[in-house]
Amino acid sequence: MRKIAVLLSFLLTFQALSGGAVQAAYVGENYISSAGACVMDFDTGEVLYEYNGNVLRVPASMTKMMNVYCIYESLAAGEITLDTVVPISQNVYDKSRDAVYQSVLPLYYNTTYTVDEMLDVIVVYSASAAAIAMAELLGDGSEAVFVEKMNQKAAEMGLNAYYYDSCGIADNEISPISMASLARNLIRDYPDILNRSAQKAVVFHGNTYQTTNHLLDTYYYEGADGLKTGTTPAAGYCFCGTAVRNGRRMISVTMQSSSTGQRFVDTARLLDYGFSIANEKYGSIYFTDMRVFINNAEIPAFSYNGAEPHAVIVAEDLQNYGFDVRYDAETETLHIVYHPDKHFSPIPMDYYRGKNGQKAFTLAPSSNISVLVNDGAEVFELQDVYDVDGYMCISVDEFQKIYDFIWKEEENAAYITTYYKSPKAILPNGKKLTSESAYIMDFQTGDAIYEFEGEIQKPVASIAKMMSVYVMLDAVQDGEISLDTVVPISENVYNLSRMEDYKMMVPLYYDEKYTVDEMLDMIVIDSAAACVTAVAELIAGSEVEFVKRMNAKAAEIGIQSVFYNGTGVCLNPEIEKENLMSAQEVAVMTKKMIEDYPEILERTKCASVDFHGQTYYNLNKMFTDYYYEGADGFKNGMTDASGYCMCGTAVLDGKRVITVTLPSASNDARFTDTAKMFDYGFAVLGVQTVGLQEKTEMEPFFQEEDDIKINIDGNYEMSFPDQQPMIVNNRAMIPIRALMETLGKTVDWNDEDQSVTIRDETVQVNLCLENTTMVKETKNPLTDVVSREDITLEVAPIMVNDRVLLPVRAVVEAFGAAVIWEEDTQTILIIAGVC
């Protein structure tokens, strides 16, 4: 098996420096491999366990935690903002390509990077060059000046720590207890760190970088949400982690663990021990022998330490049992709604088992928060509730007035049977829909063929983009702009186009030329939210002013819909509000728009669109995966608030119907619901239909590329003597065995079923020729539980000259590595760092 020279050198050096010299340590009865470790209670700062806790050791990239603290401090002082542009010096440019400066992440002179972006890749991906760039920004061009600030801050905090660089490549020094104290200060003073460190991946200028903290994925530990790993030959494998359970947070540090995986095992054992000790020391909510079942699935139950002990459950836990739980800060109200179609994922009871009467967690002072439970027909306000470290605990007895409730004395258990009283839509032909509201319109007359709660306004997610498009087409017709008008990219749009929550994420660039015509295609076909904002700013100066036109347009066409943004994406529900439309109003808008601008259908029926070198596929699957004869639009949408929405239209024998479902039970259900509605609508109009048909396939476009280079960690360039990489439908396909074995993976070919299996210790993926579904299985070494994920590939594996070619990005990212395409050098850069 071929190995990467630089990685092999690193491993040999690491073994020479760290192997075999560490004395065994135990936390409780469990072995940990760490040479130094501790676990600290966040609330009190008390060290609940330590092993060589005050001995100075090399922290590697955990150094970046002090770097990040100083960045946040500068933000708080107003010296910089999240939008401040970070310059790239020659020093940073070079180090961003040097494998010594883990993790490799190439930075460029002519690209704009913001502080916000740099924070994400420093915290999530441990990008050392990004940390140095921030150090130069805040150190007046000098990393050394910034490092002095880091040492001053360490002294102010009373830490036993000494820093020689800003990113952890140098042999900095800190003790485990001081590292935990630094983490406590960072979380306490700048809690935004947890929003960043809890991310499993971050998208940075069009590329996805996976977290180095594998307690969030492979070694999943319930409640884990940060903080930072570190690895160098001198440091060994280090990790400062944090997790919260039942409202109590622990911070753990492990330094010089025996392997990259063992540091997460050590951390889990440290955190477990910390939580168990904290349960004994703090709190007035207790473990109980009473048990509670919701629809026969057990939910963790506790006992409130009152005069009459009774079972209580944590409201947030109901999210695993078919409920939506949402807190409205403006009204200080916790809303709980049961959804019968929501997936059940009961909480493992082992996490909550404790000795009867043992303290579980602390009871906070009484709160003014109201708790409302909606059963679909009536709203109940609960009275017997408790504020527990920011979580709401509910007396189980409260559910007796809402649902079927049985107490079985012999089992000491309560059985609750939940239900949602509001019926789902049923078509007159007996076909059942999963939709909460539905509408079918005869396009010619505008009459309703069928409606179910069609006048109730609901959040509509990206369906709102069609009102934006309507206003944009008005602007074209009125001569304000033309389809060829160039759309400028503001800093706001640039940032939004890279924000993962701003669906759909299509990175836009300052130096690219985008036309209104292109933007309309991307809005309609790929639902690109930033494209909406860009055109909105072009037309009205700001999205806020553009939304006023949307509301005016709604009034003009006679609907009462209310719009607060142009995209359907509500970034901050506590400040912004959701766009609201009824199913009937969506149908009216669609009819008016098609009448005014029939050419819109030429866009909505396109299966894909090419946009600046990338192919984007239509999210409306009614003419691909769920092919329906005559379907030619219109728009779907999905957010947490809206659910899976769909507005569809189809024409047969010259008759058109418009259907709306707000929302359906799932992504698949919105398309099957739409097909049923099409069938019924056309039947009423006297048109015969054939229903859903088999998925259509597009002919692949093949192009062999002799020029494509594959480079690993900036140090090892692969060669392919037997079969060159190829481009298939604009996706890079490469001979997979050589690459994956170079990355240390095992590759097996099964000739019988024409499948490839690639695996390492924790991850296995399976792909079949000409099949666009890749199966990924991940084994959690902490629990031996194997999770399965079906990943849809844009291009299926192929066989060329007896060599199997696989889509490189999908396969490599499945194993946690990052893939970067460098256009100038025609290089696929694979970053497989171990930090």
From the list 269, 76, 65, the residue with the least C-alpha distance to 184 is 65
393 phi and psi angles, rounded to 5 deg: -100, 140
Q: Is 126 a catalytic residue?
A: yes
Instruction: State the virtual CA torsion across 129, 131, 132, 133 in degrees, nearest 10.
Output: 90
Q: Which two tokens stand for residue 646?
A: 């769909």
Q: Is 462 a catalytic residue?
A: no
CA distances from 193 to 40, 84, 172, 506, 604 (A): 18, 18, 22, 25, 41
Q: Is 61 a catalytic residue?
A: yes
Task: Please give the Cα distance from 821 to 117 (Å, whole number).
Answer: 19
* Contact yes or no for 468/672 (Cβ under 8 A): no
Task: Please give the Cα distance from 633 to 630 (Å, whole number).
Answer: 9
Residues written for the chain:
835
711 SS3 class = strand
18, 34, 126, 468: which is the annotated catalytic residue? 126
95 marked as part of a ligand binding site: no
Task: Please give the Cα distance from 169 to 135 (Å, whole number).
Answer: 14
Task: Please give the Cα distance from 768 to 835 (Å, whole number).
Answer: 32
DSSP state of 139: T
Task: Please give the Cα distance from 536 to 803 (Å, whole number).
Answer: 49
Q: Which two tokens stand for residue 134?
A: 């921030």
From the list 154, 179, 178, the residue with the least C-alpha distance to 164 is 154
18, 33, 34, 61: which is the annotated catalytic residue? 61
Q: Is 176 exposed, middle or buried (0-12, 13-18, 19+ CB in 10 A)?
A: buried
Q: Which two tokens stand for residue 388?
A: 């527990």
Tell me which residue has tokens 């790239």: 88
18, 33, 64, 197: which is the annotated catalytic residue? 64
Task: Please give the Cα distance from 537 to 534 (Å, whole number).
Answer: 5
Task: Please give the Cα distance from 34 to 229 (Å, whole number).
Answer: 14
From the list 483, 484, 460, 474, the residue with the least C-alpha distance to 540 is 474
Q: Can you say which residues are annotated as belonging to the binding site?
A: 228
Catalytic residues: 61, 64, 126
Query: Which residues are annotated binding-site positions for substrate?
Result: 228
